[in-house]
Structure 1
Amino acid sequence: MKLVATDLDGTLVRKDRTLSPRTISVFRRLEHAGVFIVLVTGRPIRWISPVYDQLGVRALTICVNGAATYDPSTDTIVHSAPLETDVLSEAVSRLRSEVPGVVFAVERDGGRQMRHEPDFPVGPWEVDHHSVGPASLAEILTRPAAKLLIRAGAQPPDEFTARVAACLSGLAEATNSSSSGMVEVSAAGVTKATALARVARTHAVAQDDVIAFGDMPNDLAMLTWAGRGVAMANAHPAVLAAAKDITDSTNEDDGVAAYLERVYNY
């Protein structure tokens, strides 16, 4: 395998947001051996630096579920596929008419900035963050967005995602990456798989030479595209069913590192 692609949360990163020494060691050995490493995440760019600080590998990162490909060596977005303003407006209009109590937020510029309706709940780590703040819905719709984020109170995540996807059919992609009931919407045709395929082509890596790891529905397209798509032992049932292989252990117990040690005979 010439390219290793991995999701972060629930896959490479532990619940306390750290990477294990074993994981760090394996990825540094991969880089030294010339294996191309790509981080593929739903995270916005503003959440990536703690991973780089720990990993010690300045890997190309596909952020916000494929809408932005980020090069940390130059601090630039090398490819972007946002939701344009007309699509944002149509998506919001459809959801307002179909989903009671729906509220919205957007990730902009690859997730360097987030704007959210005042009633949209944000995590405690985002409160008072200089790049995150409330805005009116009218202001939210004035610029293209890497992701549209949707909440409507407590919701069963898979059922709510399916409801949003049906509402936005033909307009945009809907997925989820957590059990919080938040749905993440990208431009039509934009997934982790499409972004990873683009990166692989750019670096002359064949699909069969790509191994990818993931755990949640937003990883499904990537795992089915990759030559070897590997689900974490702690993965969502749909991911376990779709993957070509499964790690022996979870993200808490070095599942990715242990699997790669076998593949590369470390």
Structure 2
Amino acid sequence: MTDKKIIAIDLDGTTLYSDGVTVSDYTKQIFKSVQDQGHHIIIATGRPYRMALQIYQELELDTPMINFNGAMISIPGQHWPHALSKHVDKAMVFELIKEEERFELDFLAAEFRRKFFINAFDKANPQIFGIDSFEAYHQMRMDKLDDDPNAILLQTRITDKLLLASQINDHFDNQVNISAWGGQNGILEIVPKGISKASALAHYLDVTGQDVANLIAFGDEHNDVEMLGFAGTGYAMKNASDVLLAHADHQIAYTNDEDGVAKTLERLFL
């Protein structure tokens, strides 16, 4: 492969180890070597900006970062004229609170670039939000929610997350896009209609004049479906969900805990 590539990487279950924190030294070394050849690595994650920034810095990236499953694209530390920030109507937050028994919700949270507000602490793991414990100012109140959030995060007791996602979408007349997180945590993330990691990558390709044929993407879960389907070449991890596999061009032989992304990039480019 001689053309310069855009390499979109999911974080959780893909680039990071299963502790949700660790990027191996091997991965950092491979990423640096790949970038030194002129290829561009772009983080595309469901995580908010505040929970991905440290990883971005560890990887020594200077490319745009995609957060909230595509609702935000920006270059940290720079004024990038093509930055985008999309928002969900805050009225949906209060509507979901009214329907929390129907949808069997443990909690829901309004997510912003640097902050979040959550309606219940007792059944929520603060580590989901990148903190050790909740503080009083994290408590959701109507007077605090004066802006539209980038995303709504919720945890459900319903086992079939994808069915619930469809029901919530119907409730809002298909005006949102809902993705499920991996694992057994029952987490769903709501962003505006038409927004996905793929839509953010399409915006990046458009403003930089690059061809989608040169886009490579790595992912493991439901929120990577559009991205892998859009990319010129889509790679699903060994640990990928069955939902994603149908949209991938290849499934790699290694998991996230086995540095699957880095091993594939080493084979392709180094």
Please confirm whether the aligned pair reaches a TM-score higher than 0.5, indicating the same fold.
Answer: yes
Distance 1:208 1:166 in 2: 34
Distance 1:87 1:202 in 2: 31
After TM superposition, the structure 1 stretch with the greater mean CA deviation from structure 2, 20-29 or 47-56, is: 47-56
In structure 1, runs of 5+ residues without a counterpart are: none
Q: How does 1:243-262 map to 2 (within 5 A)?
A: 243-262=248-267
SS of alignment partner, residue 201 of structure 2: helix
| From 169, 191, 197, the counterpart of 2:196 | 191
SS of alignment partner, residue 257 of structure 2: helix
Distance 1:255 1:201 in 2: 29
SS of alignment partner, residue 174 of structure 1: strand
Q: What's the counterpart of residue 123 of structure 1? A: 126
| From 154, 159, 164, the counterpart of 1:160 | 164
| From 18, 31, 34, the counterpart of 1:15 | 18
| From 158, 167, 171, the counterpart of 2:175 | 171
Displacement after TM superposition at 1:14 (Å): 0.7
User: 2:222 matched to 1:217?
Assistant: yes
User: CA offsets, 1:191-245, max 9 Å, x none?
Assistant: 1110111011111111111000000100101110111111111001111122111
Counterpart amino acid of residue 55 in structure 2: V
- The number of aligned residues is 261
Distance 1:131 1:58 in 2: 35
User: CA offsets, 1:101-159, max 9 Å, x none?
Assistant: 56321101x3x1111103461424424467971122x2465321111112234644334
After TM superposition, the structure 1 stretch with the greater mean CA deviation from structure 2, 14-23 or 79-88, is: 79-88
User: CA offsets, 1:53-89, max 9 Å, x none?
Assistant: 4322233210011111121232779211111335555
Distance 2:43 2:136 in 1: 22
Displacement after TM superposition at 1:98 (Å): 3.9
* RMSD, aligned CA: 2.6
SS of alignment partner, residue 144 of structure 1: coil
Identity %: 26
In structure 2, runs of 5+ residues without a counterpart are: none
Distance 1:27 1:131 in 2: 40
Counterpart amino acid of residue 133 in structure 1: H
Q: How does 1:1-266 map to 2 (within 5 A)?
A: 2-16=5-19, 17-74=21-78, 78-86=83-91, 88-89=93-94, 92=96, 95-96=99-100, 98-101=102-105, 103-108=107-112, 110=113, 112-119=114-121, 121-124=124-127, 125-128=130-133, 133-136=138-141, 138-139=142-143, 141-153=145-157, 155-179=159-183, 180-264=185-269, 266=270
Counterpart amino acid of residue 185 in structure 1: I
